Amino acid sequence: MKVFVIGVGLIGGSFAIDIKAAFNEAEIYGVDKNEEHLDKALSLGFVDKKSSFEELDKADVVITSIPVDITVKLLPEILDKINDECLVFDVGSTKKKLCNSVNDHPKRRNYLAAHPIAGTEFSGPQAAIANLYRGKTNIICEVEKTAFKLQERGMEIFTRLGMRIRYMDPASHDKHIAYVSHLSHISSFMLGKTVIEKEKNERDIFDMAGSGFASTVRLAKSSPEMWAPIFKHNKENVVETLTEYIANLTQFKELMEEDNFVEIYKEMEDTNHIKTILKGIS
Amino acid sequence: MKVFVIGVGLIGGSFAIDIKAAFNEAEIYGVDKNEEHLDKALSLGFVDKKSSFEELDKADVVITSIPVDITVKLLPEILDKINDECLVFDVGSTKKKLCNSVNDHPKRRNYLAAHPIAGTEFSGPQAAIANLYRGKTNIICEVEKTAFKLQERGMEIFTRLGMRIRYMDPASHDKHIAYVSHLSHISSFMLGKTVIEKEKNERDIFDMAGSGFASTVRLAKSSPEMWAPIFKHNKENVVETLTEYIANLTQFKELMEEDNFVEIYKEMEDTNHIKTILKGIS
């Protein structure tokens, strides 16, 4: 099985590591515009051969793990170049624009729209890790538009990697994921910004910040190259979540200004049941 | 050494566990208005005897680990009851109101204002853990107002528990901690609220949320009993941080509405150096 990984960073690299472990016959072909990343992936051993778009006709599976705006641009070209029996899946955090972009492509049936809910705040080939996908949810959109045989090939990979599958339409995916993922990244980035702006002497932050701050600001380490296009793709939903988040923060601030700490207590108590909701999320 | 722990929850209980381990001669006396918590602390073994305010004259060390508004009320009474050689320290997340409240107390020299930057999102005696304080920063305010011999006793405890000491005036403490701790809690609580409000079907959140969401929303599990009084005590500083945080979020939203994703990329890139700042924070 010849697997082409386009973008050999955290996400693509972690797929390569697990696929090599789960499929004896897998050969990983790395494609990346960043030559240093390709060399690093080769030396780390999860890519077997450097490759390019010119060789895509040899592929049995193509994984695109690159920023969503680049995927939208390249996906039609990738579908043009593959053979009829090849499965292409992406891993992007937005799905609507991607699905729309290939809706009328003659090889639409070769494409599976996927979003594995997995990652870390790190990026690049050196961030790739084994078992990143074990026990994680993989959201598949418009599964009915993918050829049945190729759905099966995708599922075989996802199952061997230990993922749970969930089916959803692209619009619902983008709406829900804005709340449980995209908003978290913005809240974290802006928290980091607010604190950095205030505390020019960085030793002060370092000394006084505990694990709580580290936890809320962790996502502010994420790659802008990956995230700016996600916000762009999902603009409408993300703006809506931001509007609601800002309204809630403003109301909290007003309660404080009015010395209404009884209501503030209640707000926190009401939100505490997030404990139960979160049970089981690593 | 007779150590009275007033409030046998996460923070007080964790002190009790480590002090018992570090000082052979330590006896822990538990005081708590919640009788069930006291029984639990006894059965967990980190409290040796149930006690009360009436026995405070026997204490060599008193630790108050209760909500800050209750500490402010009880601290003068505790100082009234202790003997002249006893050290009292608190662990509260605000310091100005506390220091002011005992500034003119005849036993001011028996009190050490402390804030160990340590904790988890859990609470109660069953949340107490060993080594919670190892490697953590302990901020001491107005150290010069504590009798030298009692400073030494406090330092002996903090040192054996593995803490790093930092000295600061109460006003600076409250200002800085608003940014690196209090704001994180509000951002997390309001993030939880925003998502819960939107996603009435909680399975949707559960299935789609990954470790990033779990991380940013973790502090929304915190105890309102502990946190509402902290926000009340530190109102002015917390309102200031909230104003700045809301302004940054609003600007981010406006950039999105204007499709200025170049600037959004830059915002994130500028904040990315939080990586370096956070290095070393667990």
Strands B49-50 and B87-90: unpaired
* pLDDT score at A142: 98
Chain B residue at shortest CA distance from A226? B265
- How far does the CA of residue A9 sit from the closest CA of chain B (Å)? 18
Order of all β-strands in the sheet with B164-168: B49-50, B27-31, B2-6, B61-64, B87-90, B111-116, B137-141, B164-168
User: Of all helices (H) and strands (E), which one includes residue A165?
Assistant: strand A164-168
- How far does the CA of residue B191 sit from the closest CA of chain A (Å)? 7
**What's the CA dihedral at B229, B191, A127, A202 to 10 degrees?**
-40
- pLDDT tens column, B176-229: 999 999 999 999 999 999 998 887 766 666 678 888 899 999 999 999 999 999
Phi then psi for residue A26, to 5 deg, are -75, 135
List Cα–Cα distances, A24 to A30, B46, B221, in angstroms. Answer: 18, 53, 44
Chain B residue at shortest CA distance from A69? B261
Q: Return the structure tokens found at A78.
A: 């990738």
Single-letter amino acid code for the residue at B36: E
* pLDDT score at B115: 97
- pLDDT tens column, A24-70: 999 999 999 999 999 999 999 999 999 999 999 999 999 999 999 99
Confidence of residue A276 (pLDDT cuts 50, 70, 90): confident
Q: Where are the domains of chain B?
A: 2-168, 173-278
- pLDDT tens column, B109-151: 999 999 999 998 899 999 999 999 999 999 999 999 999 999 9
Residues of A in contact with B174 (CB under 8 A): none
* pLDDT score at B207: 76
Q: Return the structure tokens found at A206.
A: 């370092």
Is A282 in CB contact (< 8 Å) with chain B? yes
- Specify the CATH number for B2-168; select among 3.40.50.11720, 3.40.50.1000, 3.30.1640.10, 3.40.50.720: 3.40.50.720
Interface of A with B in 109-138 (CB under 8 A): 117-121, 136-137
* pLDDT score at B280: 61
Interface of B with A in 250-279 (CB under 8 A): 250, 252-253, 256-257, 259, 261, 264-275, 277-278
Q: Return the structure tokens found at A156.
A: 């075989």
Is B166 in CB contact (< 8 Å) with chain A? yes
Instruction: Considering the domain delimited by B173-278, tell me its CATH architecture.
Output: Orthogonal Bundle (1.10)
Phi then psi for residue A45, to 5 deg, are 90, 0
Q: Which of B170, B147, B173, B167 is nearest to B100 (CA)?
A: B170
Residue A282: pLDDT over 60: no
Quick check: B219 and A216 CB within 8 A? Answer: yes
Is A217 in CB contact (< 8 Å) with chain B? yes
Q: Where are the beta strands (DSSP E) in A7-48?
A: 27-31
Average pLDDT, stretch A179-189?
96
Are residues B149 and B61 in contact, defined by beta-carbon separation less than 8 angstroms? no
Closest Cβ–Cβ partner in A198, A248, A269 for B244: A198
* pLDDT score at A280: 62
User: What phi-psi label fits residue A49: left (phi over 0), alpha (psi between -120 and 50 degrees) or beta?
Assistant: beta
Are residues B180 and A209 in contact, defined by beta-carbon separation less than 8 angstroms? yes
Distance CA B225, CA A10 (A): 41
- pLDDT tens column, B140-168: 999 999 999 999 999 999 999 999 999 99
Are residues B125 and B50 in contact, defined by beta-carbon separation less than 8 angstroms? no
Closest Cβ–Cβ partner in B176, B239, B252 for A253: B239
Quick check: A256 and B238 CB within 8 A? Answer: yes
